[in-house]
Structure 1
């Protein structure tokens, strides 16, 4: 592993584009956090989309919403991550396997920290809501999967970025729908969760590549040094 584009979990052709996406996503998260800090009810936008505390979904769609919600719970997310990591290892993509754990983990960690900093609540003072950790998790997971697919398919900058954004938005919309339909979050919470993942995951991918490249260089240096000593 020498940092070649084929081994990088964040392809060089996507770095600038996804860096811009991450910056814009972070800006959205910050703006929404400032707008809704300390609030205990939905905004006008939230009320326009759906009554924010209404448990409005009915069977059979309720089962779909509950299934998606389970994927964001500790047991469900652990099952999904283990399956994803196994797939990465079978494909011989160790960096992607690391990112499958680190990306969603840091996205959820950031969402949890933001919840305590922002202090927005739903259904009472104990239920912190902004941003949605469930949405951040599934969006981050889909982003990592799309990065892996981009590498496997050899997509260029525009096509690869489009695939990553499409995967992230579809996953975020699906989990966001479930969270709002079940009355667990306001619509703007799920937007914040999706943007949190888009801000965190590309940066995490870049850090994984940097760390892996440094380890590869150090390993090569040790191997070269050992070879020189043997020749002496």
Structure 2
């Protein structure tokens, strides 16, 4: 006996809005990558933003370090495990796969792009796009998408516009917090942060669609075998 199909991770109400956002974000990642390819210093926009961030005061450095720690291997792993555990407790294995895949592919994409673009900071460290920012944004987007889908059963946050805005707002807050920390600590240029944020916006919806697609194919194959 085959049970009911698992809930999708990219509901129809989010597909158009997040799809258009992903396409625009991917274009911006490419444009910024071409603009700053093989450079080793800040651009005009970078210099202006860094001047504002540097004026925040030394006490904020501790806050920036704490935020940055959540994107380091130990902190990132803890957050991902917590999200996956929540999905499994709710009996949503597809959602758990999505969280791991969405975050992993987003971070992996930034690593690949760093080598392709070749922008450096501090004498040779690859900087574009920011992997920390991509991680924070991707995790926030994934969790928000799943929360929107779950709450949608009760008619909360299930509307096309409301759901899309909720997901994008979560990604914006997480990306802005991590991005600020990276700039404040001098680990990235502001445009690196923007590139990392956009990378997550481009990758996570596509990953959600792929996870749903693969799950549907697997379910059809399972039915075919049982029917035979």
TM-score, length basis structure 1: 0.90
* Alpha-carbon separation, structure 2, partners of 1:144 and 1:53: 28
1:214 paired residue number: 217
Q: Secondary structure at the match of 2:120?
A: coil
| 2:162 equivalent to 1:149 | no
* Equivalence map 1:21-32=2 (5 Å): 21-32=21-32
- Residues 57 and 181, structure 1, Cα contact 8 Å, conserved in 2: no
Distance 2:51 2:114 in 1: 21
Unaligned runs of 5+ in 2: 153-157
In 2, the alpha carbon distance for the partners of 1:32 and 1:57 equals 29
Tell me how many residue pairs correspond in the alignment.
221
Structure 1 vs Structure 2 CA RMSD: 1.8
Match of 1:167 among 167, 170, 176: 170
- The higher radius of gyration belongs to 1
Greater CA drift, 132-141 or 65-74: 65-74
CA gap 1:163/1:39 in 2 versus in 1, 3 angstroms? same
Say if 2:11 is the partner of 1:11: yes
**Higher mean displacement: 62-71 or 37-46:** 62-71
Superposition deviation, residue 51 in structure 1? 4.0
Task: Kindly provide the CA deviation profile for residues 133-180 of structure 1, in whole angstroms up to 9, marking residues without a partner as x.
Answer: 000001000000010111111112111100110000110000000000
